[in-house]
A = this chain, B = another copy of it.
Amino acid sequence: MKKHIHYECSQGCPVEAALEVIGGKWKGVTLFHLMQGTKRFNELQREIGSVTQRMLTKQLRELEESGIVNRKIYAVVPPKVEYSLTEKGRTLEPILLALRAWGDEHVLAPSPTDKVDNIGVV
């Protein structure tokens, strides 16, 4: 059995690979808020609004494991943890800005130019 076709996209497709990093349920928003600077856990949770503590923790851990987010623990009482983008994470900024612009224009404020061009049945 030889694999003559294109590369299996599930393994080597760079678009999928990128989306697996930022495509998690709360990762987009989280990253976007971290673009504004270092944030504490509570700060993030408050700003995102509807994320549960459990999920925010999970998403942040995964982002950390992807090398996108840095977790800084202060050994103080009460505990203080700060999250920030790593160098690698900052390379995502243009993409996040592009996503925001696109979402703004084509989802949140659908313009008449976004109407379905045609539905073809021949």
Binding site for B on A (CB under 8 A): 5-10, 12-23, 28-29, 31-33, 46-51, 67, 70-75, 86-88, 91-92, 94-96, 98-108, 113-122
B73 touching A16, Cβ below 8 Å = no
Q: A14-B104, A74-B122, A91-B105 are in contact. List 13 more A-B contacts (CB 8 A).
A: A5-B49, A9-B49, A14-B99, A15-B103, A18-B102, A19-B23, A19-B28, A21-B107, A23-B23, A70-B118, A72-B121, A73-B121, A95-B102
Q: How many copies does the complex hold?
A: 2
| Residue of B18, B72, B87, B107 touching A100 (CB-CB under 8 A) | B18
B16 touching A29, Cβ below 8 Å = yes
In the docked arrangement, what's the CA distance between A32 and B18, Å?
Answer: 13
B48 touching A9, Cβ below 8 Å = yes
